[in-house]
Amino acid sequence: MISSKVIETLTPLFEIIKNAKGKTISQIKDQLFINDKCKMKKGASGLIIENLLGIKNNNRDEADIPQIGCEVKILPLQINKNGEVKAKEPTAIQMINYCEVAKETWETAKLRSKINLTFWVVYLAKENGKAKKQDDYVIVDYFLGHPNNIQNAIFKSDWEEIQEYIIRGDADKLSCSMGMYLEPKTKGANNKDKTDAPNGKGGTIRARRRAFYYKKNFTNTQIIPKLDLSSIKND
């Protein structure tokens, strides 16, 4: 159950996104007095939304909004040629520390705290098979996610499957095809970007860096149906 403190803390952010619905990233940049000539590198639009919300870029273990343990996730959408609205890509959660995950239980897993409360901000990034320029992304809606018992059970099952591979020394056999809601996606400069992982015999091996991601199946079935898509879709 989401507490009154959470709602009180997030209400100003809800209002910010409500007022931004239908606006483009370019318009948000103007609002924030960001130089329109600044180079829009990959992920820049997400940083601009965090700037709009007054949230500092956070690469640490603590939550984006630490006082309530809430993560902020940016979800890009695409409208397919048949009119369906889907997630454009999986959503990164956190890097996998293989040696730490091998020692955790689901109850103590760092990942569990990362997915417990999430403020999703959603924009349209691709339409009719054509990717938009980041400046042309359109703010669509927001959603506050807190896993229910059924969702938690699926997350737990996915996490435990990934952990089993890690413990037995098969970190490099992890695949994005695994899981219903979580996937262990490679995340590094190249296939030589490796880190320590258990070898299943008490020692360590080197394995490709991976991160926990929300699968598109999760955002497509558990987030998108709860959004107000009226600003981008005419039924």
What CATH number did the domain enclosing 153 receive?
Answer: 3.40.600.10
Distances in Å between the Cα of 36 and the Cα atoms of 28, 32, 33, 112, 191 are: 10, 10, 8, 39, 36
- Number of compact structural domains in the chain: 1
Domain contains 59: yes
CA distance 146 to 133: 31
Let me know if residue 15 belongs to a domain: yes
Q: What pLDDT score does 235 carry?
A: 47
pLDDT band at 191 (very low <50, low <70, confident <90, very high): confident
Residue 232 lies in a domain: no
**Is residue 234 assigned to a domain?**
no
Within-domain flag for 101: yes
Regarding predicted confidence, which is higher, 49 or 233?
A: 49
Q: Is 219 within a domain?
A: yes
In percent, the amount of the chain with pLDDT more than 70 equals 95
Tell me the residue range of the domain where 127 lies.
Answer: 4-226
- On whether residue 233 sits in a domain, the answer given is no
Residue 38's pLDDT is 62
| CA dist list (Å): 74 to 53, 66, 124, 147, 199 | 12, 17, 11, 17, 35
The tens digit of pLDDT for each residue in 36-76 reads: 666 677 778 989 999 999 987 666 678 999 999 999 999 99
Establish if 148 belongs to a structural domain: yes
> Distance between CA 134 and CA 74 in Å, rounded?
13
The per-residue pLDDT for range 90-144, each reduced to its tens digit, is: 999 999 999 999 999 999 999 999 999 999 999 999 998 899 999 999 999 999 9
Report if pTM > 0.85.
yes
Please write the tens of the pLDDT for every residue from 131-168. 999 999 999 999 999 999 999 999 999 999 999 999 99
pLDDT at 59: 61
Q: How many C-beta atoms lie closer than 10 Å to residue 75's C-beta?
A: 24
**Contact between residue 204 and residue 109 where contact means Cβ atoms under 8 Å apart:** no
Segment holding 214, helix H or strand E = strand 210-214
